[in-house]
Structure 1
Amino acid sequence: MSYPKTFLLAVCLLLTANTTIAQSKVYLEPRLGFGTFRMQSMKELQRVMIANTGLNAKATDTYGSYFQFGLNVVSEIGDQSRIGFFIEHGSTGGRVAYADYSGEFLLDTPLNYNAFGGLFYHHQAIKESKLRYVAGAELHMLMTNMKLEAYTKINSQTESSDDKFSSYGLGFKPFVGLQYPLMHFPTTLSLGYFVDTNYPFHVPGEPKQQLVINSNNKTIHPGWNGLRVNLAVSIPIVR
């Protein structure tokens, strides 16, 4: 998977912005996550497109759990709290594949998102141990990209399409976790639930040209809602 240009640009912007935080400790926190995705609207798109073929096709991949990766840039506000910015990239996808003597149908709908926003968390030692508990929240700005690749062959007649769509939205993730120093670097394992709201998928640059799936002009939205597990390591860069 290649790094999106917008994701790399956001890294540079966040690093530049946080160098202006004077007289504070600043930390880089690379993070790796794993999440579930509801994607109810996308699953409905699969069902409608299968029904339109008239074939006995079934979904073979329905927007399963997958990894995300990102970077936090945070500074201390007091001894037990941090505030800052983050960026994150994640992806999932769905597939329908079917072939028999009557025809063939293939539908691929890979999705990915780039997110940036602000975060805050509080951390406090558990009794006298090195183990600390963590609680916080993140506010996300989401940019979702989707490819819709379809191929149908029925009675020697074939049709294919390859379209791209975009969507924008907001998300919020409260989380709790545990932190422990590994090789002197505080390492946090957290669990949260991500809730989002998004505009309908549309042709890039043309927000009024929305993706619809039936005669009632029902629109399709990404649904990134779900559980998130994150592992992050704090690396001081400014003391």
Structure 2
Amino acid sequence: MMRMFRFILILLFSFWQIALAQVEPQQKASVRLKIAYSFYAMNDMKAFNKELLRQYQYTVPDMAMTENFPAFFGYTIEVFNPFPRMPFGYFVSYNSTGSRITYSDYSGAVYYDMLVKRLWLGIFKEKTVKHGFYISLYAGVMANYLMINQKLIVWQEQVKSRSKYWGMGLAIAPNIGYRIKFNGFSLGIYLGFELDYAAIDLKNTENPNLRLHFKGAYLNPDWSGLRFGISVGY
């Protein structure tokens, strides 16, 4: 509850700052592509996987977790200051990560895979500080997607199952960066941190009443974490 309250306060403050912002006259419309190495909290998802692995190991002691929602690259396309009287830009961002629990021997294999994706849409405000340094603030709505694949292979026989879930959330991300410009193009680096809140819990795409539970709460992805990235644009 406190996490939700803190998130709402930060979000309201962020939009208040955006609403009061003034467009800097020297800034022109620009389009940029950003690629960031992204760390994801995913605390509930990781804890769920560890408990699942523990249960598997009761019957298959050598079952192992080979991936557990590691850091991965994320991609963003943004348009800054497209309208003269609008003090912000627009962006769309894509991220993905996943996990695998598996075991294999001469007779077959077992796989339990979870793939999480999200699409984040929103607005941002950017302000040049000095000598190419800038600060920016991103805020928007995200759509989460989870796919769980299970596969059992015994000799020549295979049994597969797949379930899909979707949900929605809110996210904000302050960034600080440095950008150089030459011949109309720009190249930059930046450091950021994202904070998420799951507004709509993950629901099964075929049966919306079916949700994932863990320790008395609904299971949701958490994309919060550090971002180290580069940007190119014009």
Alignment TM-score, normalising by the size of structure 1: 0.74
- Give distance in 2, aligned partners of 1:45 and 1:159: 23
Q: Which residue of 2 aligns with 1:105?
A: 110
Q: Distance in 2 between matches of 1:180 and 1:59?
A: 43
Alpha-carbon distance, 1:168 to partner: 0.7
User: Aligned residue for 1:181?
Assistant: 181
1:49 to 49, 52, 56: 52
Kindly provide the CA deviation profile for residues 63-111 of structure 1, in whole angstroms up to 9, marking residues without a partner as x: 1111111211111799xx9621100111111111112479843111111
Question: Percentage identity across aligned positions?
Answer: 19
1:112-151 matches, within 5 Å, as 112-126=117-131, 132-151=132-151
* Cα distance change on mapping 1:46 and 1:153 into 2, 3 Å: farther
**Would you say 1:73 and 2:79 are equivalent positions?**
yes
Structure 1: unaligned runs, 5 residues or longer: 1-22, 127-131
- Aligned pairs for 1:1-239 (under 5 A) are 25-53=28-56, 54-56=59-61, 57-75=63-81, 83-100=88-105, 104-126=109-131, 132-152=132-152, 160-198=160-198, 199-204=200-205, 207-213=208-214, 217-235=216-234
Indicate conservation of the 8 Å contact 2:33/2:233, yes or no: yes
Distance 2:148 2:216 in 1: 18
Write the distance in 2 (CA, Å) between the matches of 1:68 and 1:200. 22
CA contact (8 A) 2:129 2:135 kept: no
Shift of 1:31: 1.7
Q: CA deviation at 1:233?
A: 2.5
Offset at residue 32 of structure 1 (A): 1.6
CA contact (8 A) 1:55 1:103 kept: no
Q: List per-residue Cα deviations over 1:16-40 (Å, max 9, x = no partner).
A: xxxxxxx994221122222011111
CA–CA distance in structure 1, aligned partners of residues 190 and 87 of structure 2: 15
State the number of aligned residues. 204
Q: Is the 8 A contact 1:167 1:222 kept in 2?
A: no
Q: Distance in 1 between matches of 2:54 and 2:153?
A: 14
Task: Name the CA distance, whole Å, in 2 between partners of 1:193 and 1:96.
Answer: 29
